[in-house]
A and B are shown apart, each in its own frame.
Chain A
Amino acid sequence: MHVPDGFLSPQTYVPAFVAAAGAWAYAARQLQRRLDDTLLPRLAVLSALGFVLMSVMLPLPGGTSVHASGIGILAVVFGPWLTFAVVSLVLLLQALVFGAGGITVLPVNALAMGLAGSAAACLGYRLLKGLDERAGLFAAGWLAAVVPAVLIAIVLGVQPAIAHTADGQPLFFPFGLSVTLPAVLVPHVLLGIAEGLLTILVVSFLRRR
């Protein structure tokens, strides 16, 4: 679900950087407060797992990509703010090492996947775990895939309206919401099922150990 570099206008990514800077500062304080010798190894392992899962990307016709992320797992185990911190770190490493995503799109990807995705995952898990633990974990994984996809499809889909030439030709992303919403959402609703099952498997595995 990464937005590739070069498809977002400065009118989008500059305000996103400002918003993300505040969130990164708060997340860094949370990280500093909670980091200890039991949390650190687990955080590093699951972050690396997230990196590996996000590295296997399939491009979508709407101009973005589909991949698993492990964000549901991170959100259930560490909560939204630590997840936001490590997902931002993973996205930065991906941009620098593989050119996946990118620097201009980093705040949008981080806010959508790391913060909104993990917050939705935590909320879904808390609401459903009382009924059934596995349903809560599945919801966390599914929401962690679908909520960022909706946000990213909206951000991409409004680009032709935000940045265009005098004769209406796009300057950045060329497709509107009528293309991006179905092109991004349909695969991610299905991917969410795999992400939900992965979340159940990995979190159950971690709890047994």
Chain B
Amino acid sequence: MKDRLLLLGYAVAVLAATSIHDPLWLIVGLLLAFAAAGREAPTIGWRALRAVLVFNLVISVGYAASALFGQTVSVDYLILVNLRVFLLIFLTFTLAARVDFLRAVNFSRPLTYLTTLVLSQIITFRRLFEDLRLAGESRRLRRLRLRESYLQSAAAAVHLFDRAEHDAREIALAMRARGFFRPDAGNDARGD
């Protein structure tokens, strides 16, 4: 129930943030979002800032540069769009910190299992990628030539595939052992 209320509140906040075009109201919304995030507000704020910084800089600079070509440029627009984008990302990260994502997709068991597997693969990929990068760096005395770095990347990719497929197969076998794939299990096991 709590998760559903949070999702509803988030949906209303997102609709409001994209329907209001007054920067002052967006600042009020941002203050409310900071209050809702509580002690996590600075951490979430910093994450949101890092997530939007590059894109918003590119668009803001591009828009401002259009003044050089005789276009009318509005500072109000720059304030409005940057505030709105930051508010939306802040709201999304606050929601992600508050809601259990796997519980949010539990209306469909196949989707829950697929999400679990994909998340586990992403974690596996990221950890292995970092391990391989560190292992490579600790074993070389000079910078790799282009061909060598391609060969190393290809070997790393094959290893990542092998490892990820092995792990996913193990999880699928465990799911089979628990009756998930039984054809006679009907909606109870395959679920919706």
Contacts and interface: CB of A to CB of B under 8 A. Distances in A.
Interface of A: 4-10, 13, 28, 31-32, 35-38, 40-45, 47-49, 51-52, 59-63, 65, 85-86, 89-90, 93, 95-100, 102-104, 165, 168-172, 174-175, 205
Given A9-B18, A99-B93, A41 B172 contact: yes
Contacts of B161: 45, 49, 205
Which residue of B47, B63, B74, B114 has the most chain A CB atoms within 10 A of its CB atom?
Answer: B114
B89 A41 contact: no
Interface residues of B, number: 65
B15 A10 contact: yes
Contact of A99 (B18, B48, B122, B158): B48
A4 B52 CA distance: 8
B77 A47 contact: no
Contacts of B76: 169
Nearest to A8: B18
Given A31-B111, A41-B117, A63-B55, A99 B168 contact: no
B74 A95 contact: no
Interface of B: 10, 14-15, 17-19, 21, 47-48, 51-52, 54-55, 58-59, 62-63, 66, 72, 74, 76-77, 80-81, 84-85, 87-89, 92-93, 95-96, 101, 108, 110-111, 113-115, 117-122, 124-126, 129, 158, 161, 164-165, 168-169, 171-173, 175-176, 181, 190-192
B146 to A, nearest CB: 15
Contact of A36 (B14, B48, B181): B181
B62 A172 contact: no
B62 A59 contact: no
A6 B84 contact: yes
B72 A37 contact: no
A173 to B, nearest CB: 8
B176 to A, nearest CB: 5
27 contacts: A4-B85, A5-B92, A7-B85, A10-B18, A32-B190, A36-B181, A37-B172, A37-B175, A37-B181, A44-B120, A44-B171, A45-B121, A45-B168, A48-B122, A48-B124, A48-B125, A52-B126, A59-B58, A62-B62, A89-B115, A98-B51, A99-B51, A103-B14, A103-B88, A103-B92, A171-B77, A174-B81
